[in-house]
Amino acid sequence: MTKDLTGGRPLIRILEFSLPVLYGSLFQQCYNVVDTVIVGRSLGVGALAAVGSTGSLNFLILGFCIGVTSGFALPAARYFGARDYSRMRRSVYNGERLALSVAVIVTAAMVLFCRPLLIIMGTPPDIADRAFSYIRIIFAGIPLLILFNMVSSLLRAVGDSRTPLLFLLASSLLNIFLDLLFILVFRWDVGGAALATVISQGLSGIACLVYMRRRFAILKLLPGDRVRDRGLQAELIAAGLPMGLQYSITAVGALVLQISVNGLGSGVVASVSTAQKIQMFLCAPFDALGTTMATFGGQNTGARAWGRLRRGVRDSSLLGAAYSILALGILIPFGGHMGMLFLPSGETEILGQIHRLLVYNGSFFLPLALVNIVRFMIQGMGFSGFALFAGLFEMIARTGVGLLAVPAWGFDAVCLASPAAWVLADLFLIPAFFVCLKRLESTPDGLLQIA
């Protein structure tokens, strides 16, 4: 059930691996969209704005957890590519211990401090209580999110992108059912939507873990693997911490931008959060290419297949460019109509803003594709510290737009924030990839450990 990405045509291997990841991402975005549709249609614009106002804080914290646990799996991919299965299993054991520590610390901190953070963000008073009700439950479920992401990342590290898809599909369907039950039947408002997400992720994560233990002999820990290895833990932290910080640094810029958006009123908050939901769905192929590049880069670095790293970036970029053109062709005529999935047709001003933001961002989807492809490839190659700088550049761009441009130009400046972040990140990432590749080619063991 594993897949070796170190042989065969890179384009074919990338497509084989990325398609299940894409399907999983689409299903995940589907239940995010359905969650938003149910909230917007059943509870109104106020509830939609309340959930949307937590988006950047949600991304800041959950993005860190997802990044860290995904990074913990990257050494396993490199050892799998190098055929060092004993060390791979020891990295799995030590990664699981570190993930548990992250889950406990982050959950405790965020459950305690989420309300003060919402106040600092300037959440509009008319939606503040609902926003707190929603985000507190989401943060309480962080351990379950980490469980599912850790197991999924380990399976992808050994080339299995199909099994996480199946469990994510089950999670998506369960989430939709629970959304309808908790919101329409039990009348639990936005808290019901949050609880549905946590329960569905948790059950899927537990089931995926049991399945991995029973069916993947290569990942089954032997008595000698259950050893605390400080050297491996340092390697795991060097891979995971920069990856988590990259998400968080990127999210800091989004957080500053969110504060500026909050100052424009709950109507703009609703339009921005709704457009972001639609955009996340349309950008699922870029996420899939990024996830694929992390595993592809890790396995081929372990196998010292330097030429395949270069061809992998090239082939993925061609796929990303083709999809970028297709997506923009959909957004220009239909972007405004997509907003009516979430809001009544009478909300003409909000729907117009949704359309405008989607077209602005869609015009820059190719730079976004390159951000995902090149950044995750660099991380898979073992240079997570380099990739961290891409998040820093994204933060600078969004922060600058939020602090300087939004107060002066309002909603039009909000539309330009993400394109500016993607372009600035690419200006660093593209040359950085060739620097990292050159360093690998000149290193005898081909496995640099860079914090």
Tell me the per-residue pLDDT of 150-209, one tens digit each, with 9 for 90 and over: 999 999 999 998 898 889 888 888 988 998 999 999 999 999 989 998 999 999 999 999
Instruction: Say whether pLDDT at 446 is over 50.
Output: no
Residue 313 burial (10 A CB sphere; 0-12, 13-18, 19+): buried
Q: What is the pLDDT of residues 382-415, one digit of tens each?
A: 888 777 788 889 889 988 988 898 888 888 899 9
pLDDT tens-place string over residues 297-337: 999 998 899 999 999 999 999 999 999 999 999 999 988 78
Distance (Å) of CA 346 to CA 40, 269, 342, 350, 359: 13, 17, 12, 9, 21
pLDDT at 448 > cutoff 80: no
* 262 to 121, 190, 347: CA distances (angstroms): 8, 19, 19
Residue type for position 228: R
Residue 280's pLDDT is 84
Is the per-residue pLDDT at 451 higher than 60?
A: no
pLDDT of residue 69 exceeding 90, the answer is: yes
Among residues 220, 200, 202, the alpha carbon closest in space to that of 211 is found at: 220
Report residue 30 as tokens: 């589907």
Count CA atoms closer than 13 A to 265's CA, side-chain side: 7
pLDDT, average across residues 338-352:
78
Strand segments (E) across 333-408 = none
Contacts of 444 (CB under 8 A, 6+ apart): none
In the predicted structure, residue 449 carries a pLDDT above the cut 70:
no
pLDDT tens, position by position, 227-275: 999 999 999 998 898 888 877 877 777 778 888 888 888 788 888 888 8
Q: Specify the amino acid at residue 401.
A: V
